[in-house]
Chain A
Amino acid sequence: MGRTALLRRLLLVPPTLIGVAIVVFVLLRVVPGDPIAMMIPPGASAEDIDRLRALYGLDQSILVQLFAWFGDLVTGDLGTSISLRQNVATLILGRLPATLELVAFATVIAVVLGGFLALIGAFYRRRAGEWIVDGVIGFVVAIPDFLWGLIFILVFGVVYPLLPISGRIDPRLSTDFATQFYLVESLVTGQFTILKGLLAHMLMPALALALPLSAIIARVLKSSLAVAESAEYAQMATARGFSRRSVLIEEALPNAAIPTVTLTGVQFTFLVGGTVLIERIFSYEGIGNMAVDAVINRDLPLIQGIVLTFAILFIAINLAIDILVTFLNPRLRRG
């Protein structure tokens, strides 16, 4: 993307984030439930309650709280979690790598699976193969990731127990990680048994996240491939003696990828959002799981921090997609 366009996109980021922040903030303050009341041990005195409330700044008007929070935000201080009593930023950064790895794994699965289905469907166009692919896509896309996760637990965790159904890693394994990027680290340091264990734990949640996206990718890519295959340049390649397979993969696919990325980019944010539930049902220790607890506990600073984190992720994803499209489509590049 041209440099000025990129700059303009980046400039739009802060206002969007501010908008998100405000919405969350106000929503949470309109709360009937009182977070302080939820965490007080029985028998606490009224002064204790007031002191706690003052400590978290909840005794002031919404506007004052908002400005105070913004002030802190600018300095990078996301506050302290009410329920966990730790620094929110630290908490989030501690769990974020787990979620990022899960999302990355899910994305790879989605792209490979979706691409594969689309290519098969395109190759067997107007024959039985395509109807089968259409059927598979239609079935998969109808079931949300949440349900896929539960189905997997049922089928592969209980009925035919093949995979572990909770956590990031078998607690019995001795691990010694420097960062929270378990997958990357174990890969880099060559600890392949641990890597296998990690992947086994991640497979079902990642697959559950990936399936809806893969179905959509398959659908869009398949029809884009049909369009590309009928284009003149594809006919030319056939006239030059390239096999159908070669034309499909080497001529049509690079072109078909462009509208596919554009149209399925939005869906990718749903994948990221889906981590909230999937991590929950698989007891996977990422920020999604933490978010659910935070909401149940009315932990306002933590909720705000996580929502902001997701918002930043979404914006980053949208930006990355635009850059990817520019990379794929030379007509969009400006020198």
Chain B
Amino acid sequence: MAEPASSPAADAAPAAPRRPSHPIEPRLVIGLIVVGALLIIAAFAPLIAPHDPLEQDLLYSMLPPSWQSGGEPGYFFGTDNLGRDILSRLIYATRVALTVAFVAALLAAAIGSLLGLSAGYFGGIVDQAVSRLVEVWMAFPPVLLAIVLAAVLGAGLSSVIVAIVVVDWTRFARVVRSETMVEREMEYVASARTLGLSGPFILAKEVLPNVLPLIITLLSVEMGIAIVVEAILSFVGLSVSTDFPTWGGMIAEGRQVVYQTPWLLGLPIACIVVSVLGFNLTGDGLRHALDPVHRR
């Protein structure tokens, strides 16, 4: 077609061919399937698990998985040193993991985002205060801080959750703060201001929806982290009482008998890996799906 004014960009190097955007992000799909499966397992644990996770049967202790020699068909993955069915324990441990994941991640997100939004939007003293706080916070090795907190607060799920929230809120605060500062500079905020709208109102209406996709993405990553932290804390013996199964607790037990029953260590690890991968994929997929011009 003849075009009088423009001309083909022959001299300019053409941009690198962009990957075609998929209408359905595969990572998101896989991630959600994994997370969904976990939710189902956790919710229907009593129906799915073949045995009571706390039930001990010392006659059948340290059994290998059912397909190996010496295994029993009733105990699919075998039993631990107290004769408890590993499969059932893994299933019930999912409940602990997911509870911690959702509650802790949501709380950390809420608190961190609130502080980050305030710091980013109001600037000045608020920003200084929050930033100093974040700096001090980040001078702690996170694992150590979590352990200290859990030890301080005593055993129990709530202390685990509090520990995770207290340690990881900075992740949200930093990112949300910088995003808010970017959004604040954009025109729509300035125009809202000139219309005489008050600060918090602008914050809620204008900045938040734009920062929300980022928060959601971080949220799913945080859930994966929460599961790992919970596992760490129960590994160190600071989570729920040792009787109720947690993946971390099973890892601790498995570590002790790793030469005799390696699957006792390997299976809970696999569970955690799958869960973390699932949440990470979800987060990754969300990031691509919600933000087509995603900045890496």
In the complex they form, whether A and B have CB atoms below 8 Å apart is answered with yes
Contact with A along B137-150 (1 / 0, CB 8 A): 11111111001110
Any chain A CB within 8 A of the CB of B265? yes
B151 touches A295 (CB 8 A): yes
Any chain B CB within 8 A of the CB of A143? yes
A104-112, A168-176, A302-310: which lies at the interface: A302-310
Known A-B contacts A142-B276, A276-B147; the reply to A151 vs B269 at CB < 8 A is yes
B139 touches A16 (CB 8 A): yes
Known A-B contacts A151-B269, A276-B147; the reply to A20 vs B136 at CB < 8 A is yes
CB distance from B69 to the nearest CB of A (A): 17
B136 touches A23 (CB 8 A): yes
Known A-B contacts A273-B142, A310-B144, A314-B139; the reply to A143 vs B273 at CB < 8 A is yes
B224 / chain A contacts, CB cutoff of 8 Å = 142
The residue that B236 contacts in the complex, of A142, A273, A292, with Cβ under 8 A, is: A292
A272 touches B141 (CB 8 A): yes
A154 touches B266 (CB 8 A): yes
B280 / chain A contacts, CB cutoff of 8 Å = 141-142
The residue that B143 contacts in the complex, of A17, A150, A276, A303, with Cβ under 8 A, is: A276
A144 touches B265 (CB 8 A): no
Chain A, range 196-248, C-beta contacts under 8 Å to B: 223, 230
Chain A, range 50-105, C-beta contacts under 8 Å to B: none
Contact with A along B251-293 (1 / 0, CB 8 A): 1000100110010011001001100110010001000000000
A146 / chain B contacts, CB cutoff of 8 Å = 143, 228, 231-232, 235
Any chain B CB within 8 A of the CB of A28? yes
B276 touches A30 (CB 8 A): no
In the complex the two chains form, what is the Cα distance from A151 to B258 in whole Å?
Answer: 11
B132 / chain A contacts, CB cutoff of 8 Å = 19
A39 / chain B contacts, CB cutoff of 8 Å = none
The residue that A33 contacts in the complex, of B151, B236, B255, B258, with Cβ under 8 A, is: B151
B255 / chain A contacts, CB cutoff of 8 Å = 150, 153, 281
Any chain A CB within 8 A of the CB of B52? no
- Nearest-CB residue, chain A, relative to B154: A32
A295 touches B142 (CB 8 A): no
Any chain A CB within 8 A of the CB of B152? yes
- Nearest-CB residue, chain A, relative to B258: A158
Tell me if B's interface is mostly helix, strand, loop or mixed: helix
In the complex the two chains form, what is the Cα distance from A315 to B140 in whole Å?
Answer: 10
In the complex the two chains form, what is the Cα distance from A157 to B154 in whole Å?
Answer: 33
In the complex the two chains form, what is the Cα distance from A72 to B265 in whole Å?
Answer: 45
CB distance from B50 to the nearest CB of A (A): 25
Any chain B CB within 8 A of the CB of A178? no
CB distance from A299 to the nearest CB of B (A): 11
B269 touches A147 (CB 8 A): yes
B152 touches A16 (CB 8 A): no
A273 touches B149 (CB 8 A): no
A19 touches B136 (CB 8 A): yes
Any chain B CB within 8 A of the CB of A192? no
Known A-B contacts A16-B135, A277-B232; the reply to A295 vs B147 at CB < 8 A is yes
CB distance from A251 to the nearest CB of B (A): 18
Any chain A CB within 8 A of the CB of B296? yes
B262 touches A159 (CB 8 A): yes
A141 / chain B contacts, CB cutoff of 8 Å = 280
- Nearest-CB residue, chain A, relative to B225: A144
A23 / chain B contacts, CB cutoff of 8 Å = 136-137, 140
In the complex the two chains form, what is the Cα distance from A159 to B265 in whole Å?
Answer: 12
Known A-B contacts A27-B149, A143-B276, A146-B228; the reply to A158 vs B262 at CB < 8 A is yes
B262 touches A31 (CB 8 A): no
CB distance from A180 to the nearest CB of B (A): 21
Any chain A CB within 8 A of the CB of B237? yes
CB distance from A139 to the nearest CB of B (A): 8
The residue that B269 contacts in the complex, of A150, A157, A270, with Cβ under 8 A, is: A150
In the complex the two chains form, what is the Cα distance from A146 to B252 in whole Å?
Answer: 12
In the complex the two chains form, what is the Cα distance from A273 to B147 in whole Å?
Answer: 12
Chain B, range 81-139, C-beta contacts under 8 Å to A: 132, 135-139
- Nearest-CB residue, chain B, relative to A220: B296
Contact with B along A302-335 (1 / 0, CB 8 A): 0100110011001100000000000000000000
In the complex the two chains form, what is the Cα distance from A288 to B144 in whole Å?
Answer: 8
In the complex the two chains form, what is the Cα distance from A281 to B256 in whole Å?
Answer: 10
A16 touches B136 (CB 8 A): yes
Any chain B CB within 8 A of the CB of A301? no
In the complex the two chains form, what is the Cα distance from A107 to B49 in whole Å?
Answer: 43
A154 touches B151 (CB 8 A): no
A223 / chain B contacts, CB cutoff of 8 Å = 296
CB distance from B172 to the nearest CB of A (A): 15
A-B contact pairs, 26 of them (CB 8 A): A17-B139, A20-B139, A27-B148, A32-B154, A138-B284, A142-B276, A147-B228, A154-B258, A154-B266, A157-B258, A158-B258, A158-B262, A269-B141, A273-B142, A277-B143, A291-B147, A292-B236, A296-B151, A296-B236, A296-B237, A298-B151, A303-B148, A306-B144, A307-B140, A310-B139, A310-B144
Task: Given contacts A281-B255, A296-B238, list 11 more A-B pairs with CB under 8 A.
Answer: A20-B136, A24-B140, A24-B148, A32-B152, A33-B152, A147-B273, A154-B258, A273-B142, A303-B148, A307-B140, A307-B144
Q: Sorted from nearest, which 3 A-B pairs have the closest CB atoms?
A: A273-B141, A19-B136, A311-B139
Interface positions of A (Cβ within 8 A of B): 16-17, 19-20, 23-24, 27-28, 30-33, 138-139, 141-144, 146-147, 150-151, 153-154, 157-159, 223, 230, 269-270, 272-277, 280-281, 288, 291-292, 295-296, 298, 303, 306-307, 310-311, 314-315
